[in-house]
Amino acid sequence: MHISLVFPSVAQKLNIKNDIFWNTKDGQPIYSQGGGIFKFKDPKSSQEKYYWYGVHYKEAETYRASPNKTLPGRATNR
Protein backbone atom coordinates (compact mmCIF):
# COMPACT_ATOMS: atom_id res chain seq x y z
CA MET A 1 0.00 0.00 0.00
CA HIS A 2 1.30 3.46 -0.91
CA ILE A 3 0.13 6.49 1.04
CA SER A 4 0.91 10.01 -0.10
CA LEU A 5 0.42 13.06 2.00
CA VAL A 6 0.11 16.41 0.29
CA PHE A 7 0.80 19.53 2.28
CA PRO A 8 0.25 22.99 0.90
CA SER A 9 3.53 24.82 0.65
CA VAL A 10 4.13 28.46 1.27
CA ALA A 11 6.98 29.88 -0.77
CA GLN A 12 9.04 32.76 0.44
CA LYS A 13 8.75 35.95 -1.57
CA LEU A 14 12.50 36.47 -1.98
CA ASN A 15 15.31 33.97 -2.31
CA ILE A 16 18.37 34.09 -0.08
CA LYS A 17 21.37 35.22 -2.10
CA ASN A 18 24.97 34.41 -1.19
CA ASP A 19 28.01 36.64 -1.67
CA ILE A 20 26.14 39.91 -1.16
CA PHE A 21 25.89 42.29 1.78
CA TRP A 22 22.60 42.21 3.67
CA ASN A 23 20.71 45.10 5.24
CA THR A 24 17.85 45.30 7.71
CA LYS A 25 14.46 46.59 6.57
CA ASP A 26 15.65 49.98 7.82
CA GLY A 27 18.74 49.87 5.59
CA GLN A 28 21.22 49.16 8.40
CA PRO A 29 24.02 46.63 7.72
CA ILE A 30 23.60 43.12 9.10
CA TYR A 31 26.84 41.91 10.65
CA SER A 32 26.53 38.17 11.04
CA GLN A 33 30.08 36.92 11.54
CA GLY A 34 29.84 34.09 14.03
CA GLY A 35 26.08 34.46 14.16
CA GLY A 36 23.07 32.36 13.45
CA ILE A 37 19.30 32.28 13.25
CA PHE A 38 16.94 31.59 16.14
CA LYS A 39 13.18 31.21 16.25
CA PHE A 40 11.29 32.81 19.14
CA LYS A 41 7.71 33.78 19.83
CA ASP A 42 7.14 37.49 19.49
CA PRO A 43 6.18 38.72 22.98
CA LYS A 44 3.48 41.04 21.60
CA SER A 45 1.81 38.82 19.00
CA SER A 46 2.87 35.32 20.15
CA GLN A 47 3.67 34.63 16.50
CA GLU A 48 6.88 32.67 15.92
CA LYS A 49 9.52 34.79 14.22
CA TYR A 50 13.07 34.20 13.06
CA TYR A 51 15.82 36.43 14.39
CA TRP A 52 19.21 36.77 12.73
CA TYR A 53 22.05 37.73 15.04
CA GLY A 54 25.78 38.20 14.65
CA VAL A 55 28.91 39.92 15.82
CA HIS A 56 29.70 43.48 14.74
CA TYR A 57 33.46 43.87 14.59
CA LYS A 58 35.27 46.97 13.34
CA GLU A 59 36.99 45.26 10.40
CA ALA A 60 33.57 44.30 8.99
CA GLU A 61 32.83 47.96 8.23
CA THR A 62 36.14 48.32 6.36
CA TYR A 63 35.50 45.12 4.42
CA ARG A 64 31.95 46.13 3.56
CA ALA A 65 33.15 49.49 2.24
CA SER A 66 35.85 47.88 0.08
CA PRO A 67 35.76 44.05 -0.14
CA ASN A 68 38.82 43.94 -2.40
CA LYS A 69 41.04 45.82 0.05
CA THR A 70 43.52 43.76 2.10
CA LEU A 71 43.70 44.91 5.70
CA PRO A 72 47.14 45.61 7.20
CA GLY A 73 48.68 42.56 8.84
CA ARG A 74 46.51 40.11 6.91
CA ALA A 75 47.86 37.40 4.62
CA THR A 76 47.13 38.01 0.94
CA ASN A 77 47.12 34.33 -0.07
CA ARG A 78 46.62 31.13 1.83
Instruction: Please give the DSSP secondary-structure letter assigned to residue 26.
Output: T
pLDDT tens per residue, range 20-67: 888 888 998 888 777 788 899 989 999 998 887 888 888 888 888 888
The domain locations on the chain are: 33-65
User: The whole model's pTM is what?
Assistant: 0.49
Would you place residue 4 in the very low, low, confident or very high pLDDT band (cuts 50, 70, 90)? very low
Q: How far apart are CA 64 and CA 1, in angstroms?
A: 56
The H-assigned helical ranges of the chain are 58-65
